[in-house]
Amino acid sequence: MTIKPNSVEGRDIAYQMHPNVNLRKYERDGGLVIESGEGIYVTDNNGKRYIEGLAGLWSVALGFGEKRLSDVAKAQMDKLPYYHTFSYKTHGPSVDLAELLIKLAPVPMSKVHFTSSGSEANDLACKMVWYRSNALGKKDKKKIIGRVKGYHGVTIAAGSITGLPRNHESFDLPLDRMIHTSCPSYDHFAKEGESEAQFTARILQDLEDLIEREGADTIAAFWGEPVMGAGGVMVPPDGYWEGVQKILKKHDILLVADEVICGFGRTGTMFACERFNIEPDVLVLSKQISSSYMPLSAILMNDNFYQPIADESDRLGVFGHGYTASGHPVATAVGLENVKIIMERNLVANAKALEEQFLGRLKDLAAHPLAVSSRGVGLLGALELKPFDDGQPGDAAAAAQVACEEEGLIVRNIGEALCFCPPMIITSEQVDDLFDCVARALERVAAARA
């Protein structure tokens, strides 16, 4: 299709640089223009409607067009469109949301600090880990353990904790104080003949060995998503998180749980930490905190984490960090209303109730000749496809993603997996509609390769 220079598509190519794309390919082919959204659906500028099978970017819990959120945003814009939380200033919406988050936290937490994205939140949490080590006089206890396939954002520190090569290559990342341990995906990294229990024991030993090599007195924190999202929806095996926490406590290493994707009901509990019995020192939240209607993220920290930082700020005279939009009144007002709606409409229970159907449909699709396996928890899942014999890595999932779009479904391909994370308002009938689209898409790919 020829793209007219004065069209939205043409002007987009001319003036806008996009994230997470091959920029030269984008210059040639352009992108899909989404014009409106309602419920679990979005509509492009040609009038074609799609099921948004990834909730935007793992984030639109309430779906599109939730009027209560737009009403709250307008009311707050009219009352106080912006103020900051610097220099001993505050405002009601940030206080209200912080209070609610502390009450909802899966383990006792002391304070909340707001930022605008998961990347920012993880980056600041990393800075605070280093600040805390200095406050305690542990000048060498600065290394951070991330995991292969883990994803924590794309800022310099968060991108370094991330364990994905695409986020490191040509950016001069990771930083040298960031180290990585094994990915807890049995499907991808088990050795031939290895049971799940044997795999779990081996990767936990990998963690122990890494700490011994580096020296526990040089390692400050371990970062982990309860369920890995952007690495391809990697669900940990039984006993993994129990084992990780035992090792970290033994070596006095902090645990930062990144629930940017998992939080606010995605895994069938309000926080995935509850589902996997994780007791973090720091909890990082974003995405579904506001259904991404406004940029918002939050760092929750326990008192053991907070108190040395407060003491150090007192010694120095200031906590020398801040973002212009930290605790933005419109963002926090929308976030507060969003979380209230999640609770009022029992959307956490909805995710749990639909889990069996959601994962069952995925499992059925795994029997397709083009597929290998499926995995997931709650309303978060992935379908692993067979690589094409005559193609490059990732080609099978890329072809299936395009076919899904042709069938009216937007999903994300990661490696050889199709990943799914629909809005949490999805119904049982719509779950079937979603996976019916996938089934037709797989048949399209199979026919094209016949």
pLDDT tens-digit profile of 265-314? 999 999 999 999 999 999 999 999 999 999 999 999 999 999 999 999 99
Provide the β-strand partners of residue 301: 111, 282
Query: What pairs with residue 418 in β-bridges?
Result: 383, 413
What's the number of domains the chain is made of?
2
> What confidence tier does 450 reach under pLDDT thresholds 50, 70, 90?
confident
- Under a CB-based contact definition with an 8 Å cutoff, are residues 334 and 69 in contact? yes
Q: Is the pTM of this model over 0.85?
A: yes
How far apart CA 317 and CA 447 sit, in angstroms, is: 68
Contact 284, 264 (CB under 8 A): no
Q: Are the C-beta atoms of 296 and 330 separated by less than 8 Å?
A: no
Peptide bond into 174 cis (omega under 30): yes
| pLDDT band at 391; cut points 50, 70, 90 | confident
- Residue 219 corresponds to which tokens in the numbers above? 């390692």
E strand segments, 2-130: 34-38, 41-44, 49-52, 111-115
Q: Which residues of 418-438 are buried (b: 16+ CB within 10 A; e: fewer)?
A: bbbbbbbbbeeebbeebbebb
**Are residue 185 and residue 307 in the same domain, yes or no?**
yes
Q: Is the pLDDT of residue 343 over 80?
A: yes
445 in a structural domain: yes
Same domain? For 213 and 99 the reply is yes
**Is position 268 within any domain?**
yes
Facing residues of 298 across strands?
114, 285
Residue 74 has pLDDT above 70, yes or no: yes
According to DSSP, the β-strands at 178-181 and 143-147 are: parallel
Q: What number of residues does the chain have? A: 450
Q: Residue 364: which CATH number?
A: 3.90.1150.10
Whether residues 169 and 205 share a domain: the answer is yes
Q: Is 14 inside a domain boundary?
A: no
**pLDDT single digits (tens) 357-382:** 999 999 999 999 999 999 999 999 99
pLDDT of amino acid 375: 98
Quick one: 45 and 73 in the same domain?
no
Domain identity same for 204 and 307 = yes
Residue 123 is assigned to a structural domain of this protein: yes
DSSP H helices in 215-280:
240-250, 272-275
